[in-house]
């Protein structure tokens, strides 16, 4: 295994192991599920580990090189008058579709008891990131 895959494997294993350990202890001491059901859980944990490893390796292999190529080629081919109008919608859409920003907007709506609508916060943050 290459070093970066080994490191990712260890990281994911440490993320999944505590839950698997707790579930195993509960199985042994309290729950006593049929062995087939518990085996399904263990197989699922292994598949989660493999899936995370494959997914993030794919992201590392595919996205950064493409981003670097686009980042190098775009300034050479696009003029400022073409680039600026395209940058705003991209920044706006990336911001308003980010799940964490949506959660923050919802929390702001709840904390302000509806005085600041979540959609207003979402649009304001999208606008500011789009113009930045």
The Cα–Cα gap between 67 and 79 comes to 19
> Are the CB atoms for 96 and 123 separated by under 8 Å?
yes
> Are the CB atoms for 94 and 125 separated by under 8 Å?
no
Beta-carbon contacts of residue 106 (< 8 Å; ≥ 6 apart): 118
Per-residue pLDDT for 1 more than 70?
no
**Using one digit for the tens of pLDDT, what is the confidence trace for 35-68?**
999 999 999 999 999 999 999 888 888 889 888 8
**Which of 9-23, 70-84, 92-106, 116-130 shows the lowest mean pLDDT across its residues?**
70-84
Length, in residues, of the chain: 132
**Using one digit for the tens of pLDDT, what is the confidence trace for 4-43?**
888 888 999 999 999 999 999 999 999 899 999 999 999 9
From the list 107, 111, 23, 85, the residue with the least C-alpha distance to 125 is 107
pLDDT at 44: 95
């Amino acid at each position: 295994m290459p070093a970066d895959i080994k490191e990712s494997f260890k990281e994911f294993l440490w993320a999944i192991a505590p839950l698997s350990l707790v579930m195993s202890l509960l199985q042994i001491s309290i729950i006593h599920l049929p062995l087939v059901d518990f085996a399904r859980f263990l197989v699922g944990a292994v598949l989660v580990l493999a899936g995370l490893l494959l997914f993030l390796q794919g992201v590392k292999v595919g996205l950064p090189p493409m981003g670097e190529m686009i980042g190098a080629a775009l300034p050479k081919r696009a003029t400022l008058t073409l680039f600026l109008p395209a940058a705003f919608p991209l920044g706006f859409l990336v911001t308003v579709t980010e799940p964490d920003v949506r959660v923050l907007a919802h929390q702001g709506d709840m904390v302000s008891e509806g005085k600041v609508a979540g959609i207003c916060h979402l649009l304001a943050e999208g606008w500011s990131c789009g113009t930045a």
